[in-house]
Amino acid sequence: MSTNGESIPEIIGEAAAVRATKPEAAARPAAVALPITVADLEKDPEVRAYIEAGNANLAVIGFTEHGLRHANLVSHIARNVLRRLGYDQREQELAAIAGYLHDIGNAISRYDHSLTGALLARDILRRYGVAPEDIAIVMGAIGSHGDDTQRLGEPVHAVSAALILADKSDVHRSRVQNPDQSKFDQHDRVNYAAVSSFLRVDPGEKSITLELTIDTTIAPVMHYFEIFLPRMLMSTRAAEFLGCTFHININGVELL
Protein backbone atom coordinates (compact mmCIF):
# COMPACT_ATOMS: atom_id res chain seq x y z
CA MET A 1 0.00 0.00 0.00
CA SER A 2 1.35 3.48 -0.84
CA THR A 3 0.52 7.18 -0.69
CA ASN A 4 1.67 9.32 -3.62
CA GLY A 5 4.01 6.53 -4.64
CA GLU A 6 5.58 6.12 -1.19
CA SER A 7 5.17 3.01 0.89
CA ILE A 8 3.88 3.26 4.45
CA PRO A 9 7.26 2.14 5.89
CA GLU A 10 8.95 4.93 3.94
CA ILE A 11 6.51 7.50 5.29
CA ILE A 12 6.96 6.22 8.86
CA GLY A 13 10.72 6.30 8.40
CA GLU A 14 10.60 9.91 7.25
CA ALA A 15 8.51 10.88 10.27
CA ALA A 16 11.00 9.20 12.59
CA ALA A 17 13.83 11.04 10.89
CA VAL A 18 12.05 14.35 11.45
CA ARG A 19 11.66 13.57 15.14
CA ALA A 20 15.32 12.66 15.38
CA THR A 21 16.60 15.83 13.67
CA LYS A 22 13.93 18.16 15.04
CA PRO A 23 13.27 16.99 18.61
CA GLU A 24 11.41 20.20 19.40
CA ALA A 25 8.86 19.24 16.74
CA ALA A 26 7.96 16.13 18.70
CA ALA A 27 7.72 17.86 22.07
CA ARG A 28 4.11 18.91 21.56
CA PRO A 29 1.45 18.26 18.91
CA ALA A 30 1.83 20.74 16.05
CA ALA A 31 -1.96 21.20 15.95
CA VAL A 32 -1.98 22.93 19.35
CA ALA A 33 -1.58 26.65 18.69
CA LEU A 34 0.74 28.80 20.75
CA PRO A 35 -1.13 31.21 23.05
CA ILE A 36 1.13 34.04 21.85
CA THR A 37 2.67 35.37 18.66
CA VAL A 38 5.55 37.74 18.16
CA ALA A 39 2.97 40.43 17.38
CA ASP A 40 1.85 40.26 21.02
CA LEU A 41 5.41 40.84 22.20
CA GLU A 42 5.81 43.82 19.90
CA LYS A 43 2.95 45.52 21.79
CA ASP A 44 4.10 44.44 25.25
CA PRO A 45 5.33 47.44 27.30
CA GLU A 46 7.62 45.33 29.49
CA VAL A 47 9.35 43.79 26.48
CA ARG A 48 9.69 47.15 24.79
CA ALA A 49 11.16 48.69 27.94
CA TYR A 50 13.80 45.95 28.23
CA ILE A 51 14.81 46.21 24.55
CA GLU A 52 15.06 49.99 24.65
CA ALA A 53 16.94 50.01 27.97
CA GLY A 54 19.37 47.38 26.72
CA ASN A 55 20.08 49.37 23.58
CA ALA A 56 20.59 52.56 25.59
CA ASN A 57 23.03 50.76 27.89
CA LEU A 58 25.03 49.49 24.93
CA ALA A 59 25.13 52.90 23.27
CA VAL A 60 26.81 54.31 26.37
CA ILE A 61 29.63 51.75 26.18
CA GLY A 62 30.08 52.10 22.41
CA PHE A 63 28.19 49.13 20.98
CA THR A 64 26.21 49.03 17.76
CA GLU A 65 22.40 49.10 17.74
CA HIS A 66 20.63 46.29 19.59
CA GLY A 67 17.22 47.91 19.83
CA LEU A 68 13.79 47.47 18.26
CA ARG A 69 15.15 47.54 14.71
CA HIS A 70 17.55 44.67 15.45
CA ALA A 71 14.92 42.71 17.40
CA ASN A 72 12.37 42.96 14.59
CA LEU A 73 14.88 42.08 11.88
CA VAL A 74 16.32 39.07 13.72
CA SER A 75 12.78 37.85 14.47
CA HIS A 76 11.81 38.09 10.81
CA ILE A 77 14.97 36.39 9.52
CA ALA A 78 14.84 33.56 12.08
CA ARG A 79 11.26 32.80 11.07
CA ASN A 80 12.17 32.92 7.38
CA VAL A 81 15.10 30.51 7.80
CA LEU A 82 12.81 27.81 9.20
CA ARG A 83 10.00 28.62 6.77
CA ARG A 84 12.31 28.20 3.79
CA LEU A 85 13.61 24.90 5.16
CA GLY A 86 10.12 23.45 5.64
CA TYR A 87 9.70 23.63 9.41
CA ASP A 88 6.13 23.91 10.69
CA GLN A 89 4.32 27.08 11.74
CA ARG A 90 4.85 26.41 15.44
CA GLU A 91 8.63 26.20 15.10
CA GLN A 92 8.63 29.28 12.88
CA GLU A 93 6.73 31.25 15.52
CA LEU A 94 9.05 30.05 18.29
CA ALA A 95 12.01 31.20 16.21
CA ALA A 96 10.39 34.58 15.68
CA ILE A 97 9.69 34.91 19.42
CA ALA A 98 13.26 33.92 20.33
CA GLY A 99 14.57 36.39 17.76
CA TYR A 100 12.54 39.24 19.17
CA LEU A 101 13.54 38.55 22.78
CA HIS A 102 17.13 37.39 22.31
CA ASP A 103 18.87 40.59 23.48
CA ILE A 104 16.64 41.68 26.38
CA GLY A 105 19.37 40.62 28.81
CA ASN A 106 21.29 43.74 27.76
CA ALA A 107 18.91 45.65 30.03
CA ILE A 108 20.86 44.03 32.90
CA SER A 109 24.37 43.83 31.45
CA ARG A 110 26.07 43.04 28.16
CA TYR A 111 28.06 40.34 29.88
CA ASP A 112 26.21 37.03 30.12
CA HIS A 113 23.26 38.78 28.44
CA SER A 114 22.28 35.53 26.74
CA LEU A 115 21.74 33.86 30.12
CA THR A 116 19.96 36.75 31.82
CA GLY A 117 17.90 37.25 28.68
CA ALA A 118 16.75 33.63 28.72
CA LEU A 119 15.53 34.02 32.31
CA LEU A 120 13.74 37.28 31.56
CA ALA A 121 12.09 35.64 28.55
CA ARG A 122 10.91 32.76 30.77
CA ASP A 123 8.98 35.11 33.03
CA ILE A 124 7.47 37.00 30.09
CA LEU A 125 6.30 33.83 28.35
CA ARG A 126 4.90 32.40 31.58
CA ARG A 127 2.76 35.51 31.84
CA TYR A 128 1.21 34.62 28.48
CA GLY A 129 0.57 31.02 29.49
CA VAL A 130 3.12 29.47 27.13
CA ALA A 131 3.71 25.77 27.82
CA PRO A 132 6.94 24.85 29.66
CA GLU A 133 8.13 22.79 26.68
CA ASP A 134 7.91 25.83 24.40
CA ILE A 135 9.44 28.15 26.98
CA ALA A 136 12.37 25.74 27.21
CA ILE A 137 12.90 25.96 23.46
CA VAL A 138 12.96 29.76 23.50
CA MET A 139 15.21 29.83 26.58
CA GLY A 140 17.61 27.38 24.96
CA ALA A 141 17.79 29.48 21.81
CA ILE A 142 18.43 32.72 23.66
CA GLY A 143 20.90 31.16 26.09
CA SER A 144 22.88 29.58 23.25
CA HIS A 145 23.15 32.51 20.83
CA GLY A 146 26.59 33.64 22.07
CA ASP A 147 28.06 36.41 24.20
CA ASP A 148 31.15 38.59 24.47
CA THR A 149 33.31 36.41 26.70
CA GLN A 150 34.87 34.34 23.89
CA ARG A 151 32.21 31.66 24.23
CA LEU A 152 30.74 30.88 20.83
CA GLY A 153 27.04 30.29 20.50
CA GLU A 154 26.18 26.65 19.88
CA PRO A 155 22.98 25.50 18.14
CA VAL A 156 21.03 23.13 20.36
CA HIS A 157 17.92 22.75 18.19
CA ALA A 158 16.48 24.20 14.98
CA VAL A 159 15.05 27.30 16.65
CA SER A 160 18.46 27.97 18.20
CA ALA A 161 20.25 27.54 14.86
CA ALA A 162 17.84 29.90 13.11
CA LEU A 163 18.39 32.54 15.80
CA ILE A 164 22.17 32.34 15.50
CA LEU A 165 22.04 32.73 11.72
CA ALA A 166 19.61 35.65 11.93
CA ASP A 167 21.51 37.47 14.66
CA LYS A 168 24.95 37.13 13.11
CA SER A 169 23.76 38.21 9.66
CA ASP A 170 22.73 41.70 10.80
CA VAL A 171 25.64 43.75 9.52
CA HIS A 172 24.58 47.17 8.28
CA ARG A 173 25.44 50.85 8.57
CA SER A 174 22.11 51.57 10.27
CA ARG A 175 23.45 49.74 13.34
CA VAL A 176 26.16 52.35 13.99
CA GLN A 177 25.10 54.57 16.90
CA ASN A 178 28.20 56.75 17.04
CA PRO A 179 27.37 59.96 15.12
CA ASP A 180 31.03 61.02 14.80
CA GLN A 181 32.79 59.10 12.01
CA SER A 182 36.16 60.42 13.16
CA LYS A 183 35.67 58.40 16.35
CA PHE A 184 34.58 55.14 14.71
CA ASP A 185 36.23 52.01 16.03
CA GLN A 186 36.77 49.04 13.73
CA HIS A 187 33.33 47.58 14.45
CA ASP A 188 31.71 50.90 13.56
CA ARG A 189 33.65 51.17 10.32
CA VAL A 190 32.85 47.64 9.18
CA ASN A 191 29.15 48.02 9.96
CA TYR A 192 29.03 51.46 8.36
CA ALA A 193 30.72 50.08 5.26
CA ALA A 194 27.99 47.46 4.86
CA VAL A 195 25.56 49.05 2.43
CA SER A 196 23.31 45.99 2.27
CA SER A 197 23.05 42.51 3.75
CA PHE A 198 20.76 39.61 2.95
CA LEU A 199 20.62 36.04 4.26
CA ARG A 200 19.66 33.81 1.35
CA VAL A 201 18.28 30.35 2.18
CA ASP A 202 18.23 27.90 -0.74
CA PRO A 203 16.41 24.72 0.31
CA GLY A 204 17.12 23.03 -3.02
CA GLU A 205 20.87 23.49 -2.75
CA LYS A 206 20.80 23.08 1.04
CA SER A 207 22.80 26.27 1.36
CA ILE A 208 22.58 29.45 3.42
CA THR A 209 24.48 32.45 2.08
CA LEU A 210 25.14 35.82 3.71
CA GLU A 211 25.24 38.31 0.84
CA LEU A 212 26.96 41.60 1.69
CA THR A 213 27.66 44.75 -0.25
CA ILE A 214 30.59 46.56 1.36
CA ASP A 215 31.90 50.01 0.49
CA THR A 216 35.61 49.27 0.40
CA THR A 217 36.47 52.97 0.52
CA ILE A 218 35.27 52.88 4.15
CA ALA A 219 36.60 49.48 5.24
CA PRO A 220 38.42 46.75 3.30
CA VAL A 221 36.79 43.33 3.04
CA MET A 222 39.58 41.81 5.15
CA HIS A 223 38.44 43.86 8.15
CA TYR A 224 35.10 42.05 8.05
CA PHE A 225 36.85 38.71 8.38
CA GLU A 226 39.17 39.97 11.12
CA ILE A 227 36.30 41.19 13.28
CA PHE A 228 33.57 38.71 12.52
CA LEU A 229 35.44 35.38 12.45
CA PRO A 230 33.51 34.15 15.54
CA ARG A 231 30.24 35.06 13.78
CA MET A 232 31.27 33.06 10.73
CA LEU A 233 32.12 30.03 12.86
CA MET A 234 28.78 30.21 14.68
CA SER A 235 26.88 30.65 11.42
CA THR A 236 28.69 27.71 9.84
CA ARG A 237 27.80 25.44 12.75
CA ALA A 238 24.19 26.65 12.78
CA ALA A 239 23.78 26.03 9.06
CA GLU A 240 25.30 22.56 9.38
CA PHE A 241 22.90 21.79 12.24
CA LEU A 242 20.07 22.54 9.80
CA GLY A 243 21.62 20.27 7.18
CA CYS A 244 22.98 23.13 5.07
CA THR A 245 26.31 24.64 4.09
CA PHE A 246 27.14 28.25 4.95
CA HIS A 247 28.65 30.72 2.50
CA ILE A 248 29.56 34.40 2.44
CA ASN A 249 29.29 36.46 -0.72
CA ILE A 250 30.80 39.95 -0.58
CA ASN A 251 30.39 42.34 -3.48
CA GLY A 252 29.37 39.50 -5.77
CA VAL A 253 32.35 37.27 -4.92
CA GLU A 254 31.87 34.08 -2.91
CA LEU A 255 34.59 34.11 -0.24
CA LEU A 256 33.50 31.20 1.92
Residue 36 DSSP symbol: -
Q: What DSSP string runs through 121-185?
A: HHHHHHHTT--HHHHHHHHHHHHTS--SSS------SHHHHHHHHHHHT---GGG-----GGG--
Domains plus CATH for the chain? 28-254 (1.10.3210)
Question: What's residue 147's pLDDT?
Answer: 67
Integer CA distances (angstroms), 164 to 6, 73, 79, 179, in order = 35, 13, 12, 28
Percent of the residues in the chain that have a pLDDT greater than 70, as a whole number: 86
Q: Which pTM does this prediction carry?
A: 0.83
Helix (H, G, I), strand (E, B) or coil at 56: helix
The pLDDT tens digits of the residues spanning 142-160 come to 999 876 666 678 899 999 9
The pLDDT tens digits of the residues spanning 12-32 come to 344 334 434 554 544 444 457
